[in-house]
Structure 1
Amino acid sequence: MQGEMSSADFEGAESFRSLIPTLVQNYAACDIFNADESGLFYKALPTSTLTQRGRNVHGFKSSKDRLTLLFICNATGDYKKIIVIGKTKKPRCFKNKSVPLEYYSNRKAWMTQDIWTQILFSLDEEMIKQQRKIILFVDNAACHKKLDNLKNINLQFLPPNATSIIQPLDQGIIHCFKAYYRQNIIRKQIAAFEAGKTIEEFSKSLTFLQAMHISKYCLWLITPSTVRNCFRKAGFFEEIEEESEDDVTITDNLVDNHEFQTYLACDDNISCWGELTDAEILENLNEDKNLETVENDEDEII
């Protein structure tokens, strides 16, 4: 985020802010939406917690197993959603389990134009059922394909190189989510160590089904006042900022602040979108077929 801010187009951001009142004039605050992706190293761990407890962490490398999360929220903070993109079409950890969040997949765990199209049409259907018309602001990433046949979504693109300034989700909502997520992982890590597990055992025990449950909970923790303040900071409203309840602190001195901030930012710069090559699409299809064969064989054995 710091690098994005230094290269941000402040003039373009201010120019766009002057257009916002006109763009949103026919929409209630609850119908003004923002969507944005962020990568998540869902198994990443800090090492200081281990050191403080006298554990040997020599040679351990924090996992870079990743997911892409699409955040969607409205300006009043009463609509918040996370959509997850992983690498595996049918993860084993999903078998016979209730999956808490909407899930898509490809071998890079990227947002693609195809997935974006599916998500937007699904959101459009949701708004149609609610008899609700919304305006949705997104950045101009190549994966964010403009669709002309949406019925209840007015899709608006933010100017390039300005999202770090004027995208509400980038003003603290995603940061707050990750702070809650990392705090939750630290607490689980400490509990596991106290139960006698090694760092490797704890890391292996984290599935991304668990990560999805944690993500859903951490999104719920973010207060509407925090969301509204982020929309204000982005320039969507001029009202006085509310007092936010989402100051995430690490309790019990498990990790010092500098260590936590480093841990918090460990996945800030990973790629979240792109288009698969023909070879990658074919490999993806072959993996799906092989997985289905394995699952069918397992079902027959059972």
Structure 2
Amino acid sequence: MPCANAAGTHKLKLLVIGKAKNPRAFKNINRLPVVYKAQRKGWVTRELFHEWFHEEFIPAVKNKMKELNLPQKALLCIDNAPGHPDADELSSEDKSFQTLFLPPNCNALIQPMDQHVIKNVKLYYRKSLLLNVISKENEDITTILKKFDLLAAVFSLRGAWSKITSNLLQKSWKNLWPTLPATLEEEDLKPLSYLQKKYSEEKREINLIEDLCRKIIPDITSNEVQNWVNPTDEDILFTEDEIVSSVNEDRIDDTGDSDDGNEQEPVNENASHTETIKSFNVCLNWCMKNNIPEHKYLMLKDLQDQAIRL
């Protein structure tokens, strides 16, 4: 669950709901890049949301307001989902932090996080999943996805959330807050002819995901990629399970010189593309297991993504 302010300058940690109270993948991990809560069915319940509001939202916003030397108060705008407590439960004792419930059946129109924010988080996450598959060239895709545990998932989600720009967040609030003062971006100064030639960020990411999908499933169609990236509740035509099934049936085996033994070869100054990607995987796993600061992990992940595209 994403949450950010209207200025786009404060993104709270994502709230991730899992089924396991103490996931095996989190063993010996002292600090997670997200707020993780457990619920038997993986749902946001009234109790969990109440806990998140008082233990995560209020302290995080207070710290940000103190940092900016601003009054410590805020209004949280949310929908009328069944998992949300009543307004009187989502309020601080001094009423400095309160909640505004949006009208029912209006999420798609005015809920800020539904204005391409959640959509883009999913987009970046799915791209990360594909890059992870491609980075392990000589492994079976089913094995790769099984190794992609909850720890890897939350780090990928954190990476996806970090790519959401302040400009996108500001725009996401426009329907709810039309008079919100706009921050002049560098791109706003570009001539119209330049902007007309430039693809939107979302379109570029979809094109990249389509290219990545074709590296795994050569005959995949653009419509299938679109339905996997942006599935609807009524008609999900292309799911992760279908990717595994299709790849296992049609994937062309690559035969090359690979060392499946336990001994590691010395690093070559002119390492191959495969060796480079494997090295990145080792470093990223080490970062996750040793509580390396998030910004350093994300920098390394960006470098790996660039290497995969080469």
Q: TM-score range by the shorter chain?
A: 0.5 to 0.7
RMSD: 2.6
Separation in structure 2 between the aligned mates of residue 240 and residue 103 of structure 1, nearest angstrom: 33
Deviations 1:3-54 (A, max 9, x none): xxxxxxxxxxxxxxxxxxxxxxxxxxxxxxxxxxxxxxxxxxxxxxxxxxxx
Is it true that 1:264 corresponds to 2:229 in the alignment?
yes
Give the aligned length.
Answer: 199
Is it true that 1:202 corresponds to 2:144 in the alignment?
yes
- Match of residue 216, structure 1, among 158, 171, 179: 158
* Structure 2 CA distance for partners of 1:124 and 1:230, relative to 1, 3 Å: same
Is it true that 1:101 corresponds to 2:59 in the alignment?
no
- Kindly indicate whether structure 1 or structure 2 has the higher relative contact order, using CA contacts under 8 Å at least 6 residues apart: 1
Match of 2:86 in 1: 146
Separation in structure 2 between the aligned mates of residue 254 and residue 92 of structure 1, nearest angstrom: 30
Match of 1:297 in 2: none
Match of 1:163 in 2: 107
Match of 2:18 in 1: 86
Question: Cα distance, 1:198 vs. partner?
Answer: 0.8
The one-letter code of the counterpart of 2:212 is L
Separation in structure 1 between the aligned mates of residue 20 and residue 164 of structure 2, nearest angstrom: 29
Separation in structure 2 between the aligned mates of residue 143 and residue 249 of structure 1, nearest angstrom: 32
Where do 5+ consecutive residues of structure 2 fail to align? 189-199, 214-220, 235-310
* Structure 2 CA distance for partners of 1:109 and 1:199, relative to 1, 3 Å: same
* Structure 2 CA distance for partners of 1:265 and 1:114, relative to 1, 3 Å: same
Question: Cα distance, 1:77 vs. partner?
Answer: 1.2
Separation in structure 2 between the aligned mates of residue 221 and residue 140 of structure 1, nearest angstrom: 28
Match of 2:52 in 1: 119
* Structure 2 CA distance for partners of 1:184 and 1:260, relative to 1, 3 Å: same
Paired residue secondary structure (2:143): helix
Question: Cα distance, 1:154 vs. partner?
Answer: 1.9
TM-score, normalised relative to structure 2: 0.58
* Structure 2 CA distance for partners of 1:264 and 1:237, relative to 1, 3 Å: farther
Residues 223 and 246, structure 1, Cα contact 8 Å, conserved in 2: no
Paired residue secondary structure (1:136): strand
Question: Cα distance, 1:233 vs. partner?
Answer: 3.8
The one-letter code of the counterpart of 2:16 is V
Separation in structure 2 between the aligned mates of residue 267 and residue 202 of structure 1, nearest angstrom: 26
Residues 74 and 98, structure 2, Cα contact 8 Å, conserved in 1: yes
Residues 73 and 80, structure 1, Cα contact 8 Å, conserved in 2: yes
The one-letter code of the counterpart of 1:74 is N
Question: Cα distance, 1:223 vs. partner?
Answer: 0.7
Determine which structure has the larger strand proportion and give its number: 1
Paired residue secondary structure (2:86): coil
Q: Kindly report which structure 2 residues correspond to 1:221-300, keeping only aligned pairs within 5 A, or say none.
A: 221-237=163-179, 246-247=201-202, 248-251=205-208, 253-255=211-213, 257-266=222-231
Residues 49 and 85, structure 2, Cα contact 8 Å, conserved in 1: yes
Where do 5+ consecutive residues of structure 1 fail to align? 1-69, 270-302
* Structure 2 CA distance for partners of 1:239 and 1:117, relative to 1, 3 Å: closer
Whichever of the two has the greater Rg, that structure is: 2
Question: Cα distance, 1:215 vs. partner?
Answer: 0.7
Separation in structure 2 between the aligned mates of residue 164 and residue 239 of structure 1, nearest angstrom: 22
Indicate the percent of aligned positions where both proteins have the same amino acid: 29
Match of 1:20 in 2: none
Separation in structure 2 between the aligned mates of residue 115 and residue 153 of structure 1, nearest angstrom: 18
